[in-house]
Amino acid sequence: MADIDRQTTLTPATAAQRLGVEVCTVRRWCDWHAVHLSTGASPGPGALRRLTGRDIEVLLQVRDLRAQGLHTETINEQLAGLTFAVIESDEQSPPADTEIAPTSTAPDGLQQAPVVLVALEAMQRQLDAVRIIASEGKQARRDNVIVFGFGFMTAALMFLLLIVLSWLYGG
């Protein structure tokens, strides 16, 4: 728990807003992918669920992999091969009932930079997934045209064979 106390943590509601999913989805993902998250993401009975910045990064990856249609086991296998940054802070965590607000020590543009980078990376992963799906779709259409062509040619040859046979045997 010491690493959680040194990090700024978020409630499941705040995490859900950042991820663009429902709170129940965050809780479910925390349970399904607990091995890749901090201990505060899947606390014992009666304890408050708190998510670290690293947990949010992991859940962003989970969200993107789910969008690709992957199942829990496959996602856990892929997460095992990834490394996520652990951001430690000397600040104390806020009480469980407070939401984290940006500090006013930096200009607004600099505060939003990490959020923008994360959003751009997520958009890039989604764009790559769309490109892969599109190229697979083009290949599938090409394969369908080839199969149709072979089928048509086979039917034409069979038709010609029937005409020749009927002509030879008294038609």
pLDDT tens digit sequence for 77-115: 888 877 765 554 343 444 444 444 444 444 544 455 677
pLDDT at 70: 87
**pLDDT score at 74:** 86
State how far the Cα of 138 lies from the Cα of 142, in Å rounded to an integer.
6
Residue 67: pLDDT above 70? yes
Q: What is the mean pLDDT of residues 23-40?
A: 89
- d(C-alpha 50, C-alpha 9), whole Å: 6
Do 122 and 60 contact (CB within 8 A), yes or no? yes
pLDDT, position 90: 40
Mean pLDDT for the chain? 77
Local confidence band at 158 (pLDDT 50, 70, 90 cut-offs) = very high
Of 97, 95, 93, 111, the residue nearest 52 (C-alpha) = 93
In the chain, where the domains are located: 1-94, 107-171
pLDDT tens-digit readout, 44-64: 888 889 998 888 888 988 998
Q: What is the pTM of this model?
A: 0.47
Top-ranked range on mean pLDDT: pick from 32-36, 134-138, 156-160: 156-160
pLDDT grade, residue 139 (50/70/90)?
Answer: confident
Structurally, at CATH architecture level, domain 1-94 sits in: Orthogonal Bundle (1.10)
Would you say 100 and 14 are in contact if contact means Cβ atoms under 8 Å apart?
Answer: yes
Q: What would the two tokens of residue 152 be?
A: 């048509």
More confident position, 7 or 84: 84
Q: Please give the angle made by the CA atoms of 85, 86 and 91, to the nearest 5 degrees.
A: 140
Q: Which of 111, 20, 14 is nearest to 60 (CA)?
A: 20
Q: What is the pLDDT of residue 96?
A: 46
